Amino acid sequence: METKPLLIVIEGPTGVGKTDMAISVAERLGTEIVNADSRQIYRDIPIGTAAPTAEQQARVRHHFVGTLALSDYYSAARFEREALASLACLFKERGVAVMCGGSMMYVDAVCQGIDCMPDVDADVRRSLRSRLESEGVEPLLEELRVADPAYYAEVDRRNGVRVVHALEVFYTSGRPFSAFRSGQKKERPFRILKIGLNLPREVLFDRINRRVSKMVEAGLLDEVERVMPQRKENALNTVGYKELFRWKAGEWALDFALERMRKNTRVYAKKQITWLKKDTEINWFEPSRTDDLFALIDGAVH
C-alpha cells in the first residue's frame, strides 16, 4: 500500500527557536516550509514579527512570509484553503513538507480543519473594528451575549478581536457564530508528525528578553515609525507594535514600552504553552536534543 505523504509540524512558544529548527529539518529532507504565523504573512514588519530573514529564506523556501499588505484581511479559514493547496504541490514533488509557526489556530486549521464561515461584509467589519477602537470591548460583549449566548459563554472576554469576529459573522449572515461550528476533525490525505519545542521557563524568558533587545538593534524602532500611520490595521494589533505605538504617541517612555513588550511577549508564550500542552499528539523536545528529534523524523519519513 502506498504511504501517505508526511507533514512535519514544528510548534512551540515564541522565542524558542522554531524557525531555525524548521530550516534544519527542511534542509535535511530536501523540502520547503509552510509558514503558519498570522503576522509574518504581512509585508513591512519583518523585524517585530521575527520573520525568517532573507538569508534564512535563501537556504529554504518559505511559503506565506511577507505576501500581504498591512491593510489586507486574512483569516484562519483562508489559510486553511491556501496552505492545503501549497502542501498538495509540495507533496506531489517531494512527499514531505514542514510547517512551522506560532499561530495555533492556523496550525489547527491545517491539521484538523475549521468550520466553514461566511465571508464577512467589509462595511460590517469596518464598523465593528471602529467601535472596538472607540468604545472598547464591553458594549460589544453585551451584543454578543444577546446574539449568541453559546459563544458568549466560552469566548475570552478580554480578546476584542474574537468578540468582534463573532459579531461580524452574526451581522453578515443573521446566524450566530456558534451555529457554524461543528467541532468535527476533518480527514487529511497526509500523515502528520507534530514536534513541540520547549525550554525551561527561565531560559525561554531570558531568550525573549534578549530577542527584544536584538530587534531594537536590528531597526525595530524605525520599522514602527514607518508603519505608525497604519497603526489601526488589525495586522498591527499585536505585541510589540501596540506598546511601541504608545511610545511614539508620547504616552510611554521608550524603556517602559520595551519592558512592557518583553512582559507581554512572556505572557503570550505562557498562553501558547498552555494551549499546546492540551495536544497529546505533540512530541516534545528541547531544541538542543537534535539527535533524538531527527531520529523520530527519520523513522516517520522512512
CATH number at residue 163: 1.10.20.140
Is residue 295 domain-shared with residue 231, that is, in the same domain? yes
Choose the final residue of a domain: 159, 180, 201. 180
Give per-residue pLDDT as tens, 107-138.
Answer: 999 999 987 778 788 889 889 988 998 999 99
Cβ atoms of residues 104 and 272 within 8 Å? yes
Orientation angle between helical segments 201-218 and 254-277, nearest 10 degrees: 140
Query: Which residues, in sequence order, are CB contacts of 227 under 8 Å at separation 6+?
Result: 44, 45, 70, 236, 241
What is the reported pTM? 0.86
Q: Which run of H or of E encompasses 301? A: helix 290-301
Whether residue 59 is predicted with pLDDT greater than 80 in this model: the reply is: yes
Tell me, yes or no, whether 16 lies in a domain. Answer: yes
Is residue 70 domain-shared with residue 213, that is, in the same domain? yes
Helix, strand, or coil here: 243?
helix
Is residue 17 domain-shared with residue 163, that is, in the same domain? no
Q: What percent of the chain has pLDDT over 90?
A: 83
Tell me, yes or no, whether 32 lies in a domain. Answer: yes
Query: Which residues, in sequence order, are CB contacts of 69 under 8 Å at separation 6+?
Result: 42, 43, 44
The Cα–Cα gap between 228 and 152 comes to 33
Is residue 258 domain-shared with residue 242, that is, in the same domain? yes
pLDDT of residue 133: 86
Is residue 134 domain-shared with residue 171, that is, in the same domain? yes
pLDDT class of 179 with cuts at 50, 70, 90: confident
Name the pairing type of β-strands 33-35 and 191-197. unpaired
CATH of the domain at 66: 3.40.50.300
Is residue 142 domain-shared with residue 266, that is, in the same domain? no
Angle at 90 between CA 279 and CA 291, to 5 degrees: 55
Report DSSP state, residue 15: T
Tell me, yes or no, whether 1 lies in a domain. Answer: no
Domain limits for position 221: 6-114+187-301
Is residue 246 domain-shared with residue 269, that is, in the same domain? yes
Is residue 108 domain-shared with residue 137, that is, in the same domain? no
- What's the number of domains the chain is made of? 2
Rounded to an integer, the average pLDDT of 248-254 is: 97
pLDDT of residue 288: 94
Tell me, yes or no, whether 239 lies in a domain. Answer: yes
Choose the final residue of a domain: 156, 180, 204. 180
Short-list 249, 231, 214, 9, CA closest to 112: 9
Is residue 194 domain-shared with residue 267, that is, in the same domain? yes
Whether residue 1 is predicted with pLDDT greater than 70 in this model: the reply is: no
Is residue 38 domain-shared with residue 136, that is, in the same domain? no
pLDDT class of 180 with cuts at 50, 70, 90: confident
Q: Residue for cell digits 468604545?
A: 135
Whether residue 39 is predicted with pLDDT greater than 70 in this model: the reply is: yes
The Cα–Cα gap between 158 and 176 comes to 20
Tally of CB atoms within 10 A around 13: 27
Q: Residue for cell digits 507534530?
A: 194
**Partners of 97 in the β-ladder:** 7
Choose the final residue of a domain: 132, 164, 180. 180
Is residue 107 domain-shared with residue 251, that is, in the same domain? yes
